[in-house]
Amino acid sequence: MAKKEVVKKIKLQIPAGKATPAPPVGTVLGPAGINLQEFCTKYNDATRDKMGDILPVEISIYDDRSFDFVIKTPPTSFLIKKIAKLKKGSVKGANETIATLTDAQITEIAETKLPDLNCYSVEEAKKIVAGTARNMGVAVETKETESE
């Protein structure tokens, strides 16, 4: 069998377990020529355990109209809002503090995001997550600030 050639790569952010052939999924994947119902069924089955989360998915479409997809971890900002119980980040960004996360909460987010981040250790991932949190107006309690 000949090797299938990737014709198109599409990235979407879809709520887990709630993909439907209706817009926005249908309008993006329809022109690509793949079976929308088949994609939605496979995606919903694969993400059923993460209901409520928004998951990025990278879809590879091949020349014979078959496809496969890779589900990524939820966006860092989504995880921060979920743990801090926020609807949205600060309007003024880092200039306005609207919530505070503990070091343990930052570690939890960093461990979740580690497979998709461009780093090798949890400590490096924590710095990335803390930076995103600060830009959203969420203060971070680190061990250094607690001891001072």
Q: Residue 91: which CATH number?
A: 1.10.10.250
User: What integer best gives the mean pLDDT of the chain?
Assistant: 81
Return the pLDDT at 94. Answer: 72
71, 103, 127: which is the final residue of a domain?
71
Query: Is-above-0.85 flag for pTM?
Result: no
Selection from 55, 52, 51, 49 nearest residue 13 by Cα: 55
| Domain interval for residue 54 | 6-71
Instruction: Find the range with the poorest average confidence among 33-42, 50-59, 92-101.
Output: 92-101
- 1 within some domain: no
Same domain, 133 and 93: yes
Question: What band does 146 get if pLDDT is binned at 50, 70 and 90?
Answer: very low
> Which residues are paired to 8 by β-bridges?
61
Number of neighbours of residue 49 by Cβ within 10 angstroms = 9
Is the Cα dihedral 71, 73, 74, 77 positive or negative?
A: negative
Same domain, 61 and 103: no
Instruction: Find the range with the poorest average confidence among 49-53, 74-78, 121-125.
Output: 49-53
Same domain, 56 and 35: yes
- 148 within some domain: no
Token look-up 């939820």 returns 74
> Which residues are paired to 70 by β-bridges?
58
46, 71, 96: which is the final residue of a domain?
71
Is the Cα dihedral 115, 53, 49, 122 positive or negative?
A: positive
**Is the N-terminal amide bond of 24 cis, ω within 30° of 0?**
yes
Looking at the predicted structure, is the pLDDT value of residue 142 above 70?
no
Same domain, 134 and 93: yes
Same domain, 56 and 87: no
Selection from 55, 4, 7, 3 nearest residue 31 by Cα: 7
- 36 within some domain: yes
Q: How many domains is the chain partitioned into structurally?
A: 2
Looking at the predicted structure, is the pLDDT value of residue 2 above 70?
no
